[in-house]
Chain A
Amino acid sequence: MKPWVRRVILAVTLLALLLPLLPLLLWSVAYRWDFPALLPQFDAWAWGELAGEKVRSATLSSLGLSAAVVLLALALSIPPAKALGCHSFRGKNAIRLLLLIPTFIPQISVVFGMQSVFRRLGVYSTVPGVILAQLVFQVPYLTLLLSAVFGARVAELERQARCLGIGAVRTWRYVILPAVRPGLTVSAVFSFIGSWSNYLLTAVIGPPSLKTLPVLLFPMMSSGNNSYPLIAVITLVYAAPVFVFLIFSSHLIAGSGVRAQQGGVL
C-alpha cells in the first residue's frame, strides 16, 4: 500500500473516530447552539448541575453496582475458567457452546422473561435481582475469556508447585493468581465496562429507587426536548471512567484481548 494512501486512510479513521466526540464536548459548555452556528454560545452552566443530588447519587449507584458485579463475576467465573482451560474432560466443547449463548442472545429477548421468573423468586425490583441479571450475561463470557488465560502453562505451573509440596491455597495465591493477573485485569475491566454500560437490565429489573447513570440518561435522551448541555455533561461524566480504565489497561487489552479474539473466545 502506498505510503500516502496509508496516511490518508489513517487520517480519515482518526477523524471518524474522534469527530463524534466534538459536538458532545461543545454542548457540555454551551448555553445555546442553534443551526447553522459551528460553535455554540459558551457557558459552562451545566457543569454546575453536577453537584446536584440526582447526578451524584446516580454516579454512586453506578459505581457501587458495577463494583459488586465485577467482584461477583470474577469470583464465579474463575473456577470454571480454570477447569475449562487447564484440564481436559468430556463434554468440554458442549460446555463451551453453552457458554456462548448469552453472548449471542440479546438482552431484550430475555429481560422480560427474567421479570416474571424473578418475581417468582422474589428478587424482581431489587438490587440483588439486577446484579443477578447482569451476572448471567457476564459470567459465561468471562469464563470463556479467562479460560484462554488459564492455559496449559498454568496447569503446568500448578502441577510443579504441588509436586514441590505447596498446599492448594498457597499455590493459588503465589503461583496461579500472579500468572493469570494480566488476564484477570483485562477481564475485570471488560466486566466493569459491561456493567457500567448496561441500561436495559437495570431499568427493567431494578427497583425505581436504583437510578444508575444510564437509567438517568436514557429517558433524557429519548424524550428529545431535554436540554442538551445537561445531557452532554452527564454523558461526559458517564463516559469518563471507561476512558480512565482503558488508559491504564490498554497495553494489556491489546495483547490478550486480540489473542482471545483470534481464537474466537474459544
Chain B
Amino acid sequence: MGKRGLRALAFAPLLLLMAAAYTLPVLSNLMKSLQNERGEYVGLKNYVDVLSSYYFLDSLRFTLRIALVTMVVAMVIAVIVALALRESFIGKKIVLFLFQYNICLPHIVAAMMMIMLLSQIGLLSSLAYRLGITESAKAFPWLVRDSKGLGITVTFVWKYFPYIGLSVLGVLQGASRAYEAQAATLGVGKIKRFFHVLLPQILPATAIASIIVFAAAFGEYEVPALLGASNHRTLSVMVYMKYCDLSTRDLPAAYVMMTLMSLVLMAFILVYYGLVTRKRGAAE
C-alpha cells in the first residue's frame, strides 16, 4: 500500500467515528429543525418562531453575558496571578498543581462545592454572619440559583481561570524576561515595559485560551443546571428542558436551538483558528 494509502488508513477510523457519531447527529438535528412535530417539512418556520420569541432571546443574552463575563474576569485574574507566580519560588509548585487540579475537576464536583460554599445557608454566609457583616441568612447575597447567574459565573471563573493562567505562565517563563531586559537596557522604564513588551507577548496565548473558556462557558450544561434559577435559564438548560422535560417539551424549538448553538460555536472555531495560525505565523 502506498504512502498516501497508509496515511488515509490512519485517519479512517477517526473520520468514520466523527461521521457516524458527530456529523450525522448534527445533520439530523438540522433536518429535524426544519420539520414540525409530525415530521412534515416546514422550512424556516421554526427558526422564525424561536428567534422572535422572548424566552430564546432572553436566554441567548443571558448565556452570552455569562460567557463574556466569565471570559473577561478569568482572563484578568489569570494574568495577574501568572505575573505574581512567575517570580516566586515558594508555593509556586503547589499553586501550579492546584491549577491543574482545578481544571481537571469534574464540573459537578465544582458545582457542589460552590453550592455548599455560597448558598445563603452555606459556609461563607455563616462566616459573614459571625463576623457581623450580615444580619441573617437572607441578608447574604443570593448566589446560588439566582436569576442573575452569579453563582454560575463564579463557578465558571473559579474553574477556568487556571487554564488561562497556565497558558500565560508558559509564555512568561519563556523568552519574555530576555525581551524585558533588552527593553530596560534601551532606557525604557518598568511600566512602559509592561505595556509595550510584556502584554503584547502574552496577548496571543491569552486570547487563544480565553476563546476556549468562552466556548466552554457558553455551551456547558451541568453547572448551569445545578446552579441556575428556574426563571432564567441558559441555552444549554433550555435545550434540555425543551427536549426532555415533559411539561415544557417543544421538540422543534429544541432542534432549532441545538443547531443555532452549533453554528455560533463554529464561528468561534474560525476565530480561534485565525488566532492560532496568526500566532504561529508570527513565531516563524
Residues of A that sit less than 8 Å from B by CB: 1, 5-7, 9-10, 13-14, 16-24, 26-27, 34-38, 76-77, 79-80, 82-83, 87, 89, 93, 95, 97-98, 100-114, 116-118, 121, 132-133, 135-136, 139-140, 143, 190, 193, 196-197, 199-200, 214, 217-218, 221-222, 228, 231-232, 235, 238-239, 242-243, 245-247, 250, 253-254, 257-259, 261-264, 266
CB of A100 within 8 A of CB of B28, answer no
Contacts of A245 in B (CB 8 A): 104
Which residues in B have some Cβ–Cβ distance to A below 8 Å? 4, 7, 9-11, 13-14, 17-18, 20-22, 24-29, 32, 80-81, 83-85, 87-88, 91, 94-102, 104-117, 120-123, 125-127, 129-130, 137, 158, 162-163, 166-167, 169-171, 174, 205, 208-209, 212, 215-216, 218-222, 225-226, 236, 239-240, 243, 254-255, 257-259, 261-262, 265-266, 268-269, 272-273, 275-277, 279-280
Residues in B neighbouring A35, C-beta threshold 8 A: 120-121, 125-126, 129, 137
Contact A117 B20 (CB under 8 A): yes
List 9 extra interface pairs beyond A132-B20, A139-B18, A258-B170, CB under 8 A: A14-B91, A22-B123, A93-B277, A102-B22, A110-B25, A114-B25, A214-B108, A221-B226, A235-B109
Give the contacting residue for A6; candidates B84, B112, B137, B259; CB below 8 A: B84
Measured CB to CB, the closest approach of chain B to A137, in angstroms, equals: 8
The answer to whether B222 touches A199 (Cβ under 8 A) is: yes
| B18:A102 contact, CB within 8 angstroms | yes
Query: Given A36-B126, A108-B258, A121-B20, A253–B25 Cβ distance below 8 Å?
Result: no
CB-contact partner of A14 in B24, B95, B158, B280, under 8 A: B95
Which of A18, A121, A246, A261 is in CB contact (< 8 Å) with B104? A246
Q: Is the interface of B mostly helix, strand, loop or mixed?
A: helix
Contact B88 A222 (CB under 8 A): no
Determine the chain B residues whose CB is within 8 A of the CB of A22 once the complex forms. Answer: 117, 123
What 5 A-B pairs are tightest by C-beta distance, nearest first? Answer: A106-B219, A113-B25, A197-B106, A23-B116, A79-B10
Known: A80-B11, A117-B20, A243-B101. A9 touches B84 (CB 8 A): yes
A97, closest chain B residue (CB): B273
Q: Which of B117, B220, B261 contacts A23 (CB 8 A)?
A: B117
- Among B100, B114, B171, B240, max chain A CB count under 10 A is at B100
Docked-complex contact A250 and B261, CB < 8 angstroms: no
Which residues of chain B come closer than 8 Å to A5, judged between CB atoms? 84
| Distance, CA A117 to CA B20, complexed state (A) | 8
Pairwise interchain contact A13-B81, C-beta atoms closer than 8 A:
yes
Contact present for A105 and B17 (CB under 8 Å): no
Chain A residues in 8 Å Cβ range of B255:
112
Contact A76 B258, CB 8 Å, known A253-B100, A258-B166 = no
Least distance between B34 CB and chain A CB atoms (Å): 14
A190-B104 Cα distance, complex, nearest whole Å: 8
CB contacts (< 8 Å) of B101 on chain A: these are: 242-243, 246
Is A239 touching B109 in the complex (CB atoms < 8 A)? yes
Are A135's CB and B266's CB within 8 A? no
Q: CA of A35 to CA of B268 in the docked complex: distance in angstroms?
A: 44
Least CB distance from B126 to A in Å reads 4
User: Nearest residue in B to A262 (C-beta to C-beta)?
Assistant: B170
**A-chain residues with CB within 8 Å of residue B266 when the two chains form the complex:** 101, 104-105
Contact A10-B84, Cβ < 8 Å, known A23-B113, A38-B123: yes
